[in-house]
């Protein structure tokens, strides 16, 4: 197969676009409707139909999650356009998500609107967020600091836990598979005419896993099985005491105990506990004004037990927000005030363990005839690095006959982590935030059961923080690197009767400006394809996930070959509410690496039964 550069894919991409009648970016197949019928909030901070958005957004619904059969959030996200993953072993291991080629810490993760993540290393432990607790996921691609502040250079992943949809509902499922993997979950939700709604979900996972490191020459090699176990719960309670007047509380908690390799002679493991909880009041005041007041907290507590001794890093982020949505004579305006209080508790001896950020954000949306416009402006004032202003402007035009075009420009920044700034002996308190400027254009098509799109983007990231050592071996992070992330994404979603297809392809160049090398663990090309059909009570699906070669190091000397994985899924409806399911992953038993020296799962099977009422 001949390779091709992003510098000249236009003919191929154009032909594929015409052949597929491509349209809306980010679509995911649902059992009965396309994702274009969905309502999302991440791209505008207020509820909007997905089909009306100018932004590049994907939606993964409850049914998509259930039928995908994935064992982790990262595994599920790997099938989404613009997303690549890397993991240090099996599903319970440390996982990185690269959104549009951006770094691991350049994607902001929210759970029910609350930030979660480590202030010490700057990323979120997605491996510790179990799928059993998730109702749906929204993925916003492109810089979004003008909406959510620091860290959203590549985009935003917002996870929504299960909530009540009104009537009484009960769900349960259990399954077992390869590597001694077992899962059990159950939940109940409901509501009544008096205004009360509730939901409660609990689950547990366990896996014996496989040896994380496959190369005996690796310093951390230990020939044992590296499994994990996870217990989780989430819940919500809401009371509508008058029309358009509601108060609600919610919580989420997951505790994962995962083994990993750090050398011979010790059973190394990390215990990660992620917790969120909040209380909110949503009130419609005059008919044109809706107010939402919320206070909450997102915690990330990581305790590692290794042969070198224990280490603990606990991040607590208290968050307060007051958002007001106004219906104007021309468009709609959202204005919000936010405060975030970060606190780090660690035995590493950080010189500074806290910082506070106050922010004000405004979002204006307008739609007139065939035209649509969105403008965002935000100012963050941090007690550590000062003030930063970010903005975005997006324009869309509907040509009719299902075709829509859009273009946008936006800025973003990432705050230095506490490790970068204050880790004893290896830090630099004078670091500046990393910054980004992004331009993109899209053409989308939606008609009947066919939707798709083509999106091109160019994101220039400046003042990247890189760990460097001088001639005297004094080592510290510095703002010395620049990168350009550019690419094209193609998508297609189609349905005919009980048959469906979903496909996407990314051609990209996430490169270091100084060397023109690929950024570590990111490919020039990656793609996914999913086919499904239903015959009476039986539904069968097949999918392909593929990637070209990547490099494990910045110098591009340690090459990891490309791969193509073939997976199969099947559901069979036994009786009303009862379903048997099975999933076969990597059926060709492909050997591949996402991180050099680290193993990935071979051919595996998982099967079980679920009930939903």
Amino acid 259: pLDDT = 94
Q: Helix or strand or coil: residue 169?
A: strand
Amino acid 513: pLDDT = 97
Amino acid 309: pLDDT = 84
Amino acid 35: pLDDT = 52
Q: What would the pLDDT profile of 217-236 be if each residue is shown by its tens digit? A: 999 999 999 999 999 999 99
Alpha-carbon torsion angle 488, 435, 479, 219, nearest 10: -50
Whether the per-residue pLDDT at 316 is higher than 60: the answer is yes
**Confidence at 307, pLDDT banded by 50, 70, 90:** confident
Amino acid 174: pLDDT = 96
CA distance 531 to 534: 11
Amino acid 363: pLDDT = 98
Q: What would the pLDDT profile of 157-188 be if each residue is shown by its tens digit? A: 999 999 998 889 999 999 999 999 999 999 99
Amino acid 19: pLDDT = 37
Amino acid 4: pLDDT = 34
Whether the per-residue pLDDT at 41 is higher than 70: the answer is yes
Whether the per-residue pLDDT at 7 is higher than 60: the answer is no
| Range 539-546 contact pairs with CB under 8 angstroms and sequence separation of 24 or more | 539/67, 539/570, 539/571, 539/572, 540/568, 540/569, 540/570, 541/67, 541/568, 541/569, 541/570, 542/566, 542/567, 542/568, 542/569, 543/79, 543/567, 543/568, 543/569, 545/78, 545/79
Whether the per-residue pLDDT at 506 is higher than 80: the answer is yes
CA distance 171 to 217: 47
Contact between 260 and 88 under an 8 Å Cβ cutoff? The reply is: yes
Please provide the size of the chain in residues: 613
Q: What is the average pLDDT value for the chain, to the nearest integer?
A: 91
For residue 164, give every residue at least 6 positions away whose Cβ sits within 8 Å of its Cβ, in sequence order, or none. 189, 190, 191, 197, 198, 199, 236, 238
Closest Cα to residue 550, out of 566, 561, 538? Answer: 561
Task: Write down the pTM of the prediction.
Answer: 0.93
Amino acid 2: pLDDT = 37
Whether the per-residue pLDDT at 22 is higher than 80: the answer is no
Amino acid 91: pLDDT = 82
Q: What would the pLDDT profile of 469-488 be if each residue is shown by its tens digit? A: 877 777 899 999 999 999 99
Q: What would the pLDDT profile of 100-159 be if each residue is shown by its tens digit? A: 999 999 999 999 999 999 999 999 999 999 999 999 999 999 999 999 999 999 999 999
pLDDT (mean) for 412-423: 96
Domain coordinates of the chain in residue numbers?
10-612
Q: What would the pLDDT profile of 239-296 be if each residue is shown by its tens digit? A: 999 999 999 999 999 999 999 999 888 999 999 999 999 999 999 999 999 999 999 9
**Confidence at 9, pLDDT banded by 50, 70, 90:** very low
Percent of the chain with pLDDT over 70: 94
The answer to which of 7-11, 63-67, 71-75, 497-501 has the lowest mean pLDDT is 7-11
Whether the per-residue pLDDT at 1 is higher than 50: the answer is no
Whether the per-residue pLDDT at 416 is higher than 50: the answer is yes
**Confidence at 17, pLDDT banded by 50, 70, 90:** very low
Amino acid 119: pLDDT = 95
Whether the per-residue pLDDT at 351 is higher than 70: the answer is yes
Q: Helix or strand or coil: residue 377?
A: strand
Whether the per-residue pLDDT at 18 is higher than 60: the answer is no
Whether the per-residue pLDDT at 308 is higher than 50: the answer is yes
Whether the per-residue pLDDT at 57 is higher than 60: the answer is yes
Tokens of 112: 């029910």
Amino acid 23: pLDDT = 34
Whether the per-residue pLDDT at 13 is higher than 50: the answer is no
Q: Identify any residues that bridge with 484 across adjacent strands, giving them in sequence order.
A: 460, 511
17 vs 345, more confident: 345
Closest Cα to residue 35, out of 504, 409, 372? Answer: 504
CA distance 461 to 400: 36
Superfamily designation of domain 10-612: TonB-dependent receptor, beta-barrel domain (2.40.170.20)
**Confidence at 36, pLDDT banded by 50, 70, 90:** low
**Confidence at 493, pLDDT banded by 50, 70, 90:** very high
The answer to which of 50-54, 115-119, 312-316, 387-391 has the lowest mean pLDDT is 50-54
CA distance 104 to 522: 11
């Amino acid at each position: 197969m001949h390779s091709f550069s992003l510098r000249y894919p236009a003919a191929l991409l154009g032909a594929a676009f015409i052949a597929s009648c491509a349209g809306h970016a980010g679509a995911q197949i649902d059992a009965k409707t396309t994702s274009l019928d969905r309502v999302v909030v991440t791209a505008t901070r207020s509820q909007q139909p997905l089909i009306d958005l100018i932004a590049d957004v994907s939606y993964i619904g409850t049914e998509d999650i259930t039928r995908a059969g994935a064992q982790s959030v990262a595994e599920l996200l790997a099938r989404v356009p613009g997303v690549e993953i890397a993991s240090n072993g099996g599903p319970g291991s440390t996982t990185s998500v690269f959104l549009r080629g951006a770094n691991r810490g350049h994607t902001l993760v929210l759970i029910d609107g609350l930030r979660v993540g480590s202030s010490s290393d700057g990323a979120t432990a997605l491996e510790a967020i179990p799928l059993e607790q998730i109702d749906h996921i929204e993925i916003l691609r492109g810089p979004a600091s003008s909406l959510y502040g620091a860290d959203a250079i590549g985009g935003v992943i917002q996870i929504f836990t299960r909530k009540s949809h009104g009537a009484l509902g009960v769900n349960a499922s259990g399954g077992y598979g390869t590597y001694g993997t077992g899962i059990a979950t159950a939940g109940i939700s409901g509501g009544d005419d008096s205004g009360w709604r509730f939901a409660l979900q609990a689950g547990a996972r366990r896996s014996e896993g496989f040896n994380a490191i496959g190369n005996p020459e690796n310093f951390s090699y230990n020939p044992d099985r590296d499994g994990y176990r996870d217990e989780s719960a989430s819940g919500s309670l809401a009371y509508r005491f008058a029309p358009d007047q509601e108060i609600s509380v919610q919580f989420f908690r997951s505790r994962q105990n995962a083994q990993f390799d750090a050398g011979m002679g010790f059973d190394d493991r990390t215990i990660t506990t992620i917790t969120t909880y909040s209380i909110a009041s949503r009130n419609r005041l005059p008919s044109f004004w809706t107010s939402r007041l919320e206070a909450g907290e997102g915690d990330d507590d990581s305790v590692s037990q290794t042969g070198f001794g224990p280490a603990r890093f606990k991040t607590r982020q208290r968050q307060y927000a007051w958002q007001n949505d106004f219906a104007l004579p021309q468009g709609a305006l959202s204005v919000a005030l936010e405060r975030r209080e970060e606190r780090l508790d660690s035995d590493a001896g950080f010189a500074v363990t806290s910082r506070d950020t106050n922010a004000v954000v405004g979002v204006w949306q307008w739609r007139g005839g065939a035209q649509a416009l969105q403008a965002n402006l935000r100012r963050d004032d941090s007690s550590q690095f000062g003030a930063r202003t970010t903005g975005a402007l997006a324009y869309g035009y509907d040509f009719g006959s299902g075709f829509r075009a859009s273009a946008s420009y936006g800025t973003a920044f990432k705050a230095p982590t506490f490790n970068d700034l204050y880790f004893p002996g290896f830090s630099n308190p004078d670091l500046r935030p990393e910054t980004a400027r992004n331009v993109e254009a899209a053409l989308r098509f939606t008609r009947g059961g066919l939707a798709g799109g083509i999106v091109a983007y160019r994101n220039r990231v400046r003042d990247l923080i890189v760990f460097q050592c001088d001639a005297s071996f004094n080592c510290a992070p510095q703002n010395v690197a620049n990168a350009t992330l550019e690419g094209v994404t193609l998508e297609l979603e189609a349905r005919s009767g009980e048959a469906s297809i979903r496909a996407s392809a990314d051609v990209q160049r996430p490169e270091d400006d100084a060397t023109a090398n690929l950024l570590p663990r990111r490919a020039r090309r990656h793609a996914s394809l999913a086919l499904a059909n239903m015959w009476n009570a039986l539904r069968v699906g097949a999918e392909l996930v593929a990637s070209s070669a990547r490099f494990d190091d910045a110098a591009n000397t340690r090459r990891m070959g490309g791969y193509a994985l073939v997976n199969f899924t099947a559901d069979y409806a036994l009786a009303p509410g009862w379903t048997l399911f099975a999933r076969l992953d990597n059926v060709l038993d492909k050997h591949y690496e996402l991180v050099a020296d680290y193993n990935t799962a071979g051919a595996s099977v998982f099967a079980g039964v679920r009930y939903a009422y």
